Chain A
């Protein structure tokens, strides 16, 4: 795979490639050339040898022609034609022996034989010349005598035959050598042919694999491109590709839908002309040029556009994209429609403003209420104070005897005034609880209960009271008002068990994980109350027992409910007359902050 990879990238060095080509092309060609030249040499040798043997045969036949003509001349000495034949044969012999000398120059043995034949031929010519002289002088007898000597004839035939045999042997030897060489070259060429075949199949195989790989990559690339196009075309955010002159090169359907809903051609036009000129904003165009030339990204440039498809708030983002050739840069610009977000923000702002003005109203009315209750606490109490104080002074100055009716009336006046003072105080506390801020700090409930029990010590003096207090843990809340809750609940428990010989007060805590709230419980074994009136229990100035029996203004539990509600909790109770009462209140694990409270 890795080699494949290297090949596909043309990894083999050029030198190696050249060597391979040389190996499979040049070497066989060279061998072939050698084979051809070897064959040509062999053919030359055959031609040469046939030439040599042919000339040798011509020599023999011209010698025989000369001999025959000479013999005939001894029989017919007047036939001059024969003399001419003898001369011609002799000329042919000389030509043949000269040719043979030239042709056999390459072989020392044959040259020697030719020289021997030449010597013999010359001696024969000398003999023949003497025969011709005898014939010319008419001494035919001597001529025939000379001709009868056959030794030279036989010797010449043997020499020529030996020469031809030697030449043939030489040819056979040369042909054998050539044949052996050609055999070797033939093997080599077959071997290289096989190598070529192997190499070619390797090349073809590699080319096929490369082709397959390329096709695969092309398919992948086409798929990726198709997916990218699909994304580009499907995405609902307008996207546009700009060239260096900020002209549109390409855009997605969303862009056309928003900025060219009429279907007009957009490609090729400058951006600032598109969509009725909504992009023609000097600041934006400058920023886009900065993106183009300085490579700065444009982040969330907000615009309010009056597009052909409606009014829009858009966030424009743009970044530079290097062109495919790397020599030019494009700009990719997206326009996210944030109209809905801006609309929501505007609504939130409006609501906020309205809420703020309402809060201001509430604050104003709270301030008025504050001023009112302040005035009540100061001015309403003054006449009461005077009634009480001056009744007291009157009594002292009258110096009435003990048991006098008037003394009792005076007592009623001062007590009533004092009681009304307490009612006013309690009512003011209750009113203030609805308005003051409820803190949210960690409150140690164990410490708080211990502290309140200490505060209630006077109410416990001389009584038998069994306290059962489980660990109460910590909560998030307002310690000041929570103290008031415990003061009221524990105070009530003490108050309504006052007539029990052995009072039992149980204080406990449970955590309700499902509701994520703490639940605190105060249970006593006091007089209890009728559940029929449980609804009245937490109302202002609501009492379930006559004031003569149990002291109180009837506002304590209303305060408890108000405080617990403002912490985001609830308060509830259960009881039956004579069977004690159980009060519960819950506080959320996480306080909800100061909540409004509409209880009067």
Chain B
């Protein structure tokens, strides 16, 4: 059986992080979830640098990015990932607080895979990831046994 890949969640707001993690938990996914507290932390995790230098090797199944974050915002992380040949292929879902059109347009321009408006509704999230084409291959690993 292949190793179940991690879902990386980058979210600075602890309440939003809690809600997202709850939603993922409710979806009963087997994937472990890593939580980065801002964009720079997320990039460190992806590149196994800084605080995450010692983490086991392996790309995440998907990166969930909040937009407004300190140090480096989600769109900047997305831009850097798409310019980095090592990270370019990783699916990215933007979790936005708003329906702000400019955010949506910039996200698409930067090559986002899906865009979900918070609070994260699990069904909404799944349909977005399904649309991504990765649902079965990436996320729909065997559910955690009840």
Contacts and interface: CB of A to CB of B under 8 A. Distances in A.
A536 interface: no
Contacts of A113: none
B22 A393 contact: yes
B16 A382 contact: yes
A8 interface: no
Interface stretch (B31-39, B45-53, B82-90, B95-103): B95-103
Interface in B7-31: 13, 15-16, 19, 22
B79 interface: no
Contacts of A432: 101
A381 B15 contact: no
Interface in A427-477: 428, 432
Given A386-B15, A389-B119, A381 B98 contact: yes
A180 interface: no
A378 interface: yes
B99 A378 contact: no
Interface string A375-403: 00111011001101110010000000000
A312 B37 CA distance: 71
Nearest to A385: B119
B84 to A, nearest CB: 26
Of the listed residues B13, B16, B119, the one surrounded by the most CB atoms of chain A closer than 10 A to its CB is B119
A377 B98 contact: yes
Contacts of A12: none
B5 interface: no
Contact of B67 (A378, A386, A388): A378
A390 B97 CA distance: 16
B100 A388 contact: no
Nearest to B121: A389
A409 interface: no
Contacts of B67: 378
A374 interface: yes
Nearest to A389: B119
A378 B97 contact: yes
A425 interface: yes
A382 B13 contact: yes
Nearest to A425: B99
Contacts of A374: 100, 102
Given A378-B67, A382-B16, A388 B119 contact: yes
Interface in B98-146: 98-102, 118-119
A228 B22 CA distance: 100
A377 B97 contact: yes
Contacts of B99: 377, 425
A393 B119 CA distance: 12
Contacts of B102: 374
A426 to B, nearest CB: 11
Given A382-B16, A393-B22, A377 B100 contact: yes
A388 B101 CA distance: 23
Contacts of A393: 22
A21 to B, nearest CB: 106
Given A374-B100, A377-B97, A385 B118 contact: yes
Contact of A385 (B68, B97, B101): B97
A386 B14 CA distance: 11
A428 B16 CA distance: 22
B98 to A, nearest CB: 4
Contacts of B19: 386, 389
B72 to A, nearest CB: 16
A378 B100 contact: yes
A487 B102 CA distance: 22
Contacts of B100: 374, 377-378, 428
B96 to A, nearest CB: 8
Contacts of B13: 382
Contacts of A385: 16, 97, 118-119
A388 B15 CA distance: 12
A381 B98 CA distance: 8
A368 to B, nearest CB: 15
Contacts of A428: 98, 100
A381 B100 CA distance: 12
B22 A382 contact: no
A278 B38 CA distance: 73
Interface in A538-593: none
Contacts of B16: 382, 385-386
A367 to B, nearest CB: 12
Interface of B: 13, 15-16, 19, 22, 67-68, 97-102, 118-119
6 contacts: A377-B97, A377-B100, A381-B97, A381-B98, A382-B15, A432-B101
Given A374-B100, A377-B97, 16 more contacts: A377-B99, A378-B67, A378-B97, A379-B68, A379-B97, A381-B97, A382-B16, A385-B16, A386-B16, A386-B19, A389-B19, A393-B22, A425-B99, A428-B98, A428-B100, A432-B101
Interface of A: 374, 377-379, 381-382, 385-386, 388-390, 393, 425, 428, 432
By Cβ-Cβ distance, the 6 closest A-B pairs, closest first, are: A377-B98, A378-B97, A389-B119, A386-B15, A378-B68, A377-B100
